[in-house]
Amino acid sequence: MSDAENTQDPALVVHLNGSGGTIRSWVVIDTLVDGLAMGGVRMTPGVTVEEVAGLARDMTQKFTLAGLRIGGAKGGIVSDGGDREQTFRTFGRTVKPLLHGGIHLGIDMGVTPADRAVFFDEAGYDPRYRPGAPDMPVDWRTYYEPLIDVTGHGVGVAAVTALEASGRGEAARVVVQGFGAVGRAVARFLEDRGHVVVGVADVQGTISADRLPVAELIAVTDEFGRIDRSRLPQHVTTTSTPDAWLDIDADVLVLAAQKHALNAENAHRLRAGLVVEGANLASDAEAREKARAAGATLVPGVIANIGGAGAAALAVTRVVPFELAADARKAWVFDWIGDRVRENTRALLEIAAARAGDPLPELLDVRRGELR
């Protein structure tokens, strides 16, 4: 991506005040491709239009890297999650013309599948039907919910691919920062392939051991990614010290939680030689520069964290072979995501080995040329 393209303003920024109710919200459409764009909706008390715009730009880059012909968008709602039903009904009424006009909005931080169902219903929007495209033969929930682990699968593929490229043969020590759906799926994926999870972090702090029992941790984790400390195995260590996950002796750090978890203030504590972003905007630019200067490899979220967005885009653009039976269709999507993540991770590392600096802009230029 050229500097001009990287700093180009979004195609459309919509400030939502609410129809039939009051909300403070935005939808940012970074790019349109064939009149289409898509991305999730984030709801937090502190979300800003600048954050939403950054997330929408990330979506554009994800789809470009994956070779998907759809633009990037994102929604944001300022709310602490109180009165969810009213919030999402108001949101649905307000975004109705966008949803019916080619802008598909899904879920992101603070928004659940149930919330999505509410705003889809209020807008009278059904992704199965789109003018100029064949109808989906299954409803959105039937298609998408079996793919809950596809993002974690892609992040795991990125980690394994980078480890293989480094020539590492032995098991890696892994820390997973964030134990929501993505973090849990990555931990399972890497443990299943012989790697050792030595640390996990949730909103309450960090849990560590020479080898953490991933299945046992998952069994005592709630739907929001909080691990029940009262039910932990006795041999583990816990701490509530901020960012303690950075201090664990590890080979791989997976960032699967909040924005800018790795930042200018804490990047000097990084011990892992490989960082894989499993969350949106998981590091800031200064942290990435410091990590590279220290010799660490970083696979950005626009490569590793494509799974959920990619799976949705495959359906919206009707690339998915819907004639396959449900299990075969799920396997096809997982394979497609894994292949794209693997290919882009390898290409990124090859560019990084050839020259100094951030390899991502060059890779984006290559992929953009392939889409033309």
CATH of the domain at 365: 3.40.50.720
Mean pLDDT for 32-39 is 96
Taking 90 as the threshold, does the pLDDT of residue 284 lie above it?
yes
Residue 52 in domain: yes
Contact, 120 vs 126, CB < 8 A?
Answer: yes
Indicate if 365 and 230 belong to the same structural domain: yes
Q: What is the pLDDT of residues 47-90, one digit of tens each?
A: 999 999 999 999 999 999 999 999 999 999 999 988 999 999 99
Mean pLDDT for 150-175 is 96
Q: Residues 6 or more apart from 227 whose CB is under 8 A from it?
A: 179, 200, 202, 204, 207, 217, 220, 221
- Predicted pLDDT of residue 212: 98
Taking 90 as the threshold, does the pLDDT of residue 214 lie above it?
yes
Taking 60 as the threshold, does the pLDDT of residue 144 lie above it?
yes
d(CA 342, CA 42) in angstroms, rounded, equals: 28
- Predicted pLDDT of residue 224: 84
Indicate if 192 and 100 belong to the same structural domain: no
- Predicted pLDDT of residue 2: 39
Residue 214 in domain: yes
Indicate if 294 and 358 belong to the same structural domain: yes
pLDDT classification of 7: cutoffs 50, 70, 90: low
Residue 320 in domain: no
Residue 139 in domain: no
pLDDT classification of 166: cutoffs 50, 70, 90: very high
Indicate if 47 and 98 belong to the same structural domain: yes
Residue 317 in domain: no
- Domain of 118: which CATH number? 3.40.50.10860
Indicate if 108 and 168 belong to the same structural domain: no
In angstroms, the Cα distances linking 59 to 78, 149, 151, 274 are 20, 19, 14, 23
Contact, 207 vs 236, CB < 8 A?
Answer: yes
What range defines the domain where residue 261 resides?
150-307+338-371
- Predicted pLDDT of residue 6: 56
Indicate if 22 and 89 belong to the same structural domain: yes
Taking 90 as the threshold, does the pLDDT of residue 3 lie above it?
no
Around Cβ 252, how many Cβ atoms within 10 Å? 26
- Predicted pLDDT of residue 4: 39
Residue 298 in domain: yes
Q: Residues 6 or more apart from 174 whose CB is under 8 A from it?
A: 159, 187, 190, 195, 196, 197, 198, 199, 250, 251, 252, 253, 254
Indicate the residue among 125, 142, 161 that finishes a domain: 125
Indicate if 166 and 283 belong to the same structural domain: yes
For the chain, what is the mean pLDDT?
95
Report which secondary-structure segment, H or E, holds 6: helix 3-7
| Number of compact structural domains in the chain | 2
Indicate if 114 and 154 belong to the same structural domain: no
- Predicted pLDDT of residue 132: 86
d(CA 262, CA 19) in angstroms, rounded, equals: 38
Indicate if 77 and 191 belong to the same structural domain: no
Higher pLDDT, 7 or 95: 95
Per-residue tokens: 280: 């949106």
- Predicted pLDDT of residue 169: 82
Burial of 138-154, coded b for 16+ CB within 10 Å and e otherwise, reads eebeebbebbbbbbbbb
Residue 75 in domain: yes
Per-residue tokens: 141: 């929930």
Indicate if 270 and 173 belong to the same structural domain: yes
DSSP H helical segments within 100-212, as ranges? 113-123, 140-144, 150-165, 181-192
